[in-house]
Amino acid sequence: MSDKPIITLSQTKPRRIKQWNRLYGWLRSPVHVIGLVGLLFLAYTIIWPVINILLTTFVWKTQDMRITAETNPGHFTLYHWQRVLASDMSLSLFYKPVLHAGAVAFVVSILSMLLGCGLAWLVTRTDLPFKKAIAFLAVIPYLLPSWVIAQAWLTFFKNDKIGGTPGIWQSLTHMQTPDTLAYGFVPIVISLSIHDSVYFFLLVGAALSSMNTQLEEAASMNGAGRWTIIRQIVFPLMLPAILSGFILTFTRAISSYGVPAILGTPVDFYMISTMLYSSMRARLTTEAHVLSLMLMLISMLMIYWNSQVVGRQRSFVTITGKDNPRTLQSLGRWRKPTALLTIGSMILVSVVPLLILLVQTFMLREGVYSWDNLTLHYWIGGSISDINSGEKGVLQNPIFLLALRNSLLIAAFSAVLAALLGLLLGYAVARGRQTWIGRTVDQVSFLPYLMPGISLSAIYITMFARPHWIIPALYGTVWLIILITVVKELPFTVKAGGAAVMQVGGELEEAAQMNGASWWTRFKRIVLPLNRKSLLSAFLIVFIGAMKETELIIMLVTPRTETLTTLTFAYVEKGYTQLTNVVLMIMISIVILVYALATRYGKADLTTGIGGQ
């Protein structure tokens, strides 16, 4: 009996040492540390907020007192859900906006697919002339906020409905533009499609150009006709790229805010996002949260469906990475007309709107087309009380300078942070593929994708309004906007980072390890330099995204954190057309400049940033 403790001691000691060594070994692996820290960050910035607002939708709030007497603050209720989903308000609050948003998103996805894939095919697979120019023109709409096209549309087709000066069309023809053409479904779909077809163009283009044409030639050797080849060889191989484009477009379109706000609101055409925004403004916070959750649910269903289709296909996406000798499809006598038509329509959608907006900035009064109407007032003028209620010319306006500073600050910081974070988390995902932590990071970092920007910001307002734990109250500072931008872009940057790290074989790092390099040295000397291009692409994507971001931050900005987009948007709402356009012009010049520099000197590539190969 007396020796019993000794036995236990001698038995537990090795076991304890083993557990200790295990833990120590586990924690010493950089993949685990990065993964763990990353998961904590993701849990705090994504999972916790969603759970949090899900819970609040089931609880009575004090504000509810003004709506109903049943209110019992702090207690459980299904009232909010019932109010949104099954009350006399539901039709206008929920069902109509959902229907509108769904229809818009669906039609936009189809249209963008046709436009984007067609263009991608023309550029990668035919002997079309001026390919470089076409590829550049095709990317321009992506460099602009999607609602710039809406704005240009309105300048052209505006009618008397919302007052102010009529659009160019009406001034020239003296015919009233029909409402259906000027506002609502049709122009929303067109504006969004023009903007979103870029995703298809980039994704499908990349897939097409890396696909070996010998696959097609082999089929044609076997006697397959051209249509059979497209249907049986090309389409199945392109399916993953097409589906990712579809999902990207659909989720972006269904939660887009800027375009429906400009083109839908005048005719009471609401989509979920615009409804969400006005609910927030009307202080129906909980109802807005319910709407957010529903929007997320729709996006999730969509992605689930996508993964069902792609999951089975992915196995044979073994498109070789080599630059294959390519046989180009000859367009024959259609070569010139096709080129002309393509370039013509691309100029129409990417250059003409910009020119219209630019010309407008010099017109003292909108819609008056004469030489003496030209002015630089909106650029450099002082305050004149009967023009735009005395708002100064943009370059004179301290608010503009503040917004410019904020925008650059936000875009630069978010881009650097998001690219680095993406690379780090991508590292954990790529190197930890075999471990639970790598897979979890992979899946969780994808969540912001499902979360419509406007929902995320609705959550963040509540979350960061007050200081809590060690986090100060971020609301009202640019840091909140930087944080939300980084989080929202994570799905793209982590995917791009993971794909890039995957290409740097693990042995390159192990070789450094053999030579005694610590993890940090390995990362700095091997991983980082070898991923420079991907890092720069991620930076570019986030920078452009942040510069033109509207949905995500429109609810978060305060007068101190005004950005170029929100300033423009405020001008739009007040009807200060020329000022809007001036700010837009400046913003677009910055984006195009950065894009040109990054692609020219850094060999950055937009495609890798949005999930292409």
Taking the least distance from each CB to other proteins, the nearer of 385 and 515 is 515
Residues in 402-461 at the binding interface with other proteins, rule: CB under 8 A: 434
Beta strands, E only, 172-267: none
Buried b (16+ CB within 10 A) or exposed e, 570-598: bbbeeebbbbbbbbbbbbbebbbebbeeb
Q: Which of 517, 533, 585, 613 binds other proteins (CB under 8 A)?
A: 517
> Taking the complex as a whole, how short is the minimal distance between the CB of residue 514 and other proteins, in angstroms?
5
Place of tokens 């001008």: 571
> Taking the complex as a whole, how short is the minimal distance between the CB of residue 25 and other proteins, in angstroms?
5
Q: Which of 8, 12, 17, 225 binds other proteins (CB under 8 A)?
A: 17
Quick check: 478 and 300 in contact, CB under 8 A? no
Q: Is 512 in the site for other proteins (CB under 8 A)?
A: yes
Taking the least distance from each CB to other proteins, the nearer of 51 and 511 is 511
Q: Which of 526, 533, 592, 599 binds other proteins (CB under 8 A)?
A: 526
Considering only the stretches 189-197, 257-265, 401-409, 525-533, report the one whose residues sit in contact with other proteins under the rule CB under 8 A. Answer: 525-533
Taking the least distance from each CB to other proteins, the nearer of 17 and 471 is 17
Q: Is 281 in the site for other proteins (CB under 8 A)?
A: no
Taking the least distance from each CB to other proteins, the nearer of 65 and 508 is 508
Quick check: 514 and 450 in contact, CB under 8 A? no
**Which tokens hold the place of 462?**
């509540």
Q: Which of 398, 516, 559, 601 binds other proteins (CB under 8 A)?
A: 516
> Taking the complex as a whole, how short is the minimal distance between the CB of residue 509 and other proteins, in angstroms?
9
Considering only the stretches 219-227, 281-289, 483-491, 526-534, report the one whose residues sit in contact with other proteins under the rule CB under 8 A. Answer: 526-534
Q: Which of 521, 524, 560, 603 binds other proteins (CB under 8 A)?
A: 521
Q: Is 25 in the site for other proteins (CB under 8 A)?
A: yes
Taking the least distance from each CB to other proteins, the nearer of 508 and 596 is 508
**Which tokens hold the place of 434?**
């075999």
Q: In DSSP terms, which residues pair with 247 in a beta bridge? A: none
Query: Identity (one letter) of the amino acid at 254?
Result: I
Taking the least distance from each CB to other proteins, the nearer of 224 and 530 is 530
Residues 6 or more apart whose CB falls under 8 angstroms from that of 52 comprise 459, 462, 463
Considering only the stretches 270-278, 395-403, 507-515, 552-560, report the one whose residues sit in contact with other proteins under the rule CB under 8 A. Answer: 507-515
Taking the least distance from each CB to other proteins, the nearer of 416 and 530 is 530
> Taking the complex as a whole, how short is the minimal distance between the CB of residue 28 and other proteins, in angstroms?
8
Q: Which helix (H) or strand (E) holds 408?
A: helix 398-431
> Taking the complex as a whole, how short is the minimal distance between the CB of residue 497 and other proteins, in angstroms?
18
Alpha helices in 504-576 (DSSP H): 506-514, 519-522, 528-530, 532-548, 564-574
> Taking the complex as a whole, how short is the minimal distance between the CB of residue 500 and other proteins, in angstroms?
14
CA distance 205 to 197: 12
Q: Is 6 in the site for other proteins (CB under 8 A)?
A: no
Q: Is 27 in the site for other proteins (CB under 8 A)?
A: no
CA distance 234 to 207: 10
Q: Which of 507, 524, 573, 589 binds other proteins (CB under 8 A)?
A: 507
> Taking the complex as a whole, how short is the minimal distance between the CB of residue 51 and other proteins, in angstroms?
33
> Taking the complex as a whole, how short is the minimal distance between the CB of residue 431 and other proteins, in angstroms?
13
> Taking the complex as a whole, how short is the minimal distance between the CB of residue 608 and other proteins, in angstroms?
18
CA distance 374 to 244: 46
In this structure, the dihedral spanned by the alpha carbons of residues 183, 189, 194 and 196, taken in order and rounded to 10 degrees, is 130
Q: Is 513 in the site for other proteins (CB under 8 A)?
A: yes
Planar angle of CA 341, 138, 110, nearest 5 degrees: 85
How many residues make contact with other proteins (CB under 8 A)? Answer: 26
Residues 6 or more apart whose CB falls under 8 angstroms from that of 394 comprise 378, 379, 400, 579, 582, 583, 586
Taking the least distance from each CB to other proteins, the nearer of 14 and 559 is 14
Q: Is 55 in the site for other proteins (CB under 8 A)?
A: no
Quick check: 257 and 113 in contact, CB under 8 A? no
Taking the least distance from each CB to other proteins, the nearer of 252 and 522 is 522
Considering only the stretches 15-23, 150-158, 307-315, 449-457, report the one whose residues sit in contact with other proteins under the rule CB under 8 A. Answer: 15-23
Taking the least distance from each CB to other proteins, the nearer of 216 and 509 is 509
Closest C-alpha to 424, from 542, 515, 535: 535
Residues 6 or more apart whose CB falls under 8 angstroms from that of 435 comprise 31, 32, 35
Q: Is 515 in the site for other proteins (CB under 8 A)?
A: yes
> Taking the complex as a whole, how short is the minimal distance between the CB of residue 525 and other proteins, in angstroms?
8
At 344, give phi and psi (nearest 5°). Answer: -60, -50
Quickly count: other Cβ atoms within 10 Å of residue 186's Cβ.
Answer: 17
Per-position DSSP letters for 68-134, written without gaps between them: -TT--TTSB--HHHHHHHSSTTHIIIIIHHHHHHHHHHHHHHHHHHHHHHHHHHHHHHB--S-HHHH
At 89, give phi and psi (nearest 5°). Answer: -85, -20
Residues in 103-132 at the binding interface with other proteins, rule: CB under 8 A: none
Taking the least distance from each CB to other proteins, the nearer of 283 and 525 is 525
Q: Is 502 in the site for other proteins (CB under 8 A)?
A: no
Query: Identity (one letter) of the amino acid at 92?
Result: S
Taking the least distance from each CB to other proteins, the nearer of 22 and 365 is 22
CA 196 → CA 110, 136, 226, 238, 532, distances in Å? 10, 15, 29, 18, 27
CA distance 568 to 260: 16
Q: Is 236 in the site for other proteins (CB under 8 A)?
A: no
Considering only the stretches 20-28, 332-340, 473-481, 547-555, report the one whose residues sit in contact with other proteins under the rule CB under 8 A. Answer: 20-28
**Which tokens hold the place of 235?**
């389409």
Q: Is 505 in the site for other proteins (CB under 8 A)?
A: yes
Q: Which of 51, 384, 511, 596 binds other proteins (CB under 8 A)?
A: 511
Residues within the interface to other proteins (CB under 8 A): 14, 17-19, 21-22, 25, 28, 434, 505, 507-508, 510-518, 521, 525-526, 529-530
